[in-house]
Structure 1
Amino acid sequence: MPAFVGGLASQPMDTRPQYDPTPAARYDLAASLAHELKGTGVASNVVSPGAVLVEATKELVTRISPARGWGDMWEEIRPNAVSALIPNDQERFGEPDEMAAAVAYLCGGYAQYVSGATIRAGGGLKVSRAAFCARRNGEPGPRAVRDTEPASKITEIHDHETLAA
């Protein structure tokens, strides 16, 4: 079984331009380190988690819920918060054990051929700055862009600039 070098890196959002370059650099570092470690039996990979439901996340979402009209009970708040803040294909927050499972996969025998990779464990989340800001302000805004969409369909990503038609 190969040794594992890696880390966790949040998924980039344009609302944090001062922070996002750091975790983004981890992706390139994992790939560069994988090439450097060629022949050693050590793999270098990254797990990039989406919004994970930990106590701090639940407290924050519950605190901002009244101003957003998401409900009073967690059973009401959760789906509304997911829809408004982190729309994703799974329609929920991730769980800590799901992130741990991604790391465990990379450390296990089934990932012996995986090297220089980034596993995006975000439920299919990728929200543009314009869409995030619009949702934050309660406006419909441009649509969220999912990880699974081909580049030819990605439009209106950043302040209505068209990157690909």
Structure 2
Amino acid sequence: MDLGLKGRRALVTGSSSGIGAGIAEVLADEGATLFVHGRDAQRTEAIAARLRKKNVEVHSVLGDLGSDAGAHSVIKAVLDRLGGVDILVNNAGGSGVHGNPAWFDVSLDTWLNGYSQNVGAIVRLCHAFVPGMQQRGWGRIVNIGSGSGMQPLATIPHYGASKAALNNLTLSLSKALSHTGITVNTISPGAILTPALEAWIRDLARQLNWGDDWATIERRYTTEFFPLPVARIGRVEDIGNMVALIASDRCSYVTGANIRVDCGHASAVN
């Protein structure tokens, strides 16, 4: 489907791997001009090189969006090269910790760093790129959230809290940008098959004696361990397809929404 994104300028943060790379690939397929972003030069350029084979303009940029200096360097690179963006996909972020630490094992510094990565980074980029969108009368801001923003766990509390803040930020910003031609939405993924998740599930499968066949492992995982209405784990293109649709004029009436792409896993209505 042609979503009318050809030539639109898009920055996808955290797109050197995983969900971000999947989003960038779908936007490239739709003909968008892309900035791929990451922290690892080799991985980021590898994704950019792969997407250039689709005969679209692709650039790469490095920087830690959780700091003022890192965000400024990314913003400057994008503005110098493209003059602005039409589509801002805020995917970069994370918990900043390994495993699932208990509530009182997460320090205040980790909380503050998590907010800077998952909320502050978006604020920095919106301050930089929204004025240009307003001048042009068109823009799309798509924030990648998490089910933990609606359904928090007892563990990694700072991550769920920052993602809940992101949902609030999205709705607030959508109201602030009323009548400008800019929409702001959150997409909240469920279980999405990234290399890290696959490695974790295969380790679980060995512990539970599920064998090595991926089809069997995936079916058992989604029916016995992590029950879903569809017996498969989501793919990165499931998120990418939704981002592309929300970024298109076909969804110009959708703003301030939190769109779950989680196969109905979260118990929250929205």
Q: Is the shorter-chain TM-score for this pair beyond 0.5, marking a shared fold? A: yes
Structure-to-structure mapping, 1:7-156, within 5 angstroms: 7-12=143-148, 13-14=152-153, 15-126=155-266, 145=267
- Percent identity of equivalent pairs: 28
> What is the alpha-carbon root mean square deviation over aligned residues?
2.0
Structure 1 gap segments, 5+ residues each: 127-144, 149-165
Q: Does the aligned pair in 2 maintain the 1:45–1:115 contact within 8 Å?
A: yes
What is the TM-score normalised by the length of structure 2?
0.45
Aligned residues: 130
Secondary structure in 2 aligned to 1:125?
Answer: coil
Deviations 1:93-140 (A, max 9, x none): 1111110011111101111110100110001112xxxxxxxxxxxxxx
Letter in 2 for 1:5: I
**Larger relative contact order (Cα-Cα within 8 Å, sequence gap ≥ 6):** 1
2:102 aligns to what? none
- Shift in CA distance, 146/89, structure 1 to aligned 2, threshold 3 Å: farther
Secondary structure in 2 aligned to 1:44?
Answer: strand
Q: CA deviation at 1:146?
A: 7.6
Structure 2 gap segments, 5+ residues each: 5-137
Q: Does the aligned pair in 1 maintain the 2:142–2:247 contact within 8 Å?
A: no
Secondary structure in 2 aligned to 1:40?
Answer: coil
Deviations 1:59-89 (A, max 9, x none): 1111121212323321221111122443222
Deviations 1:31-84 (A, max 9, x none): 000000011111110110001012221111111212123233212211111224
Distance in 2 (alpha carbons) for counterparts of 1:117 and 1:147: 12
- Shift in CA distance, 34/96, structure 1 to aligned 2, threshold 3 Å: same
Distance in 2 (alpha carbons) for counterparts of 1:88 and 1:147: 16
Q: Does the aligned pair in 2 maintain the 1:51–1:93 contact within 8 Å?
A: yes
1:4 aligns with 2:136: no
Query: Which contiguous aligned blocks of 4+ residues in structure 1 show a shift greater than 6 angstroms?
Result: none
Secondary structure in 2 aligned to 1:4?
Answer: strand
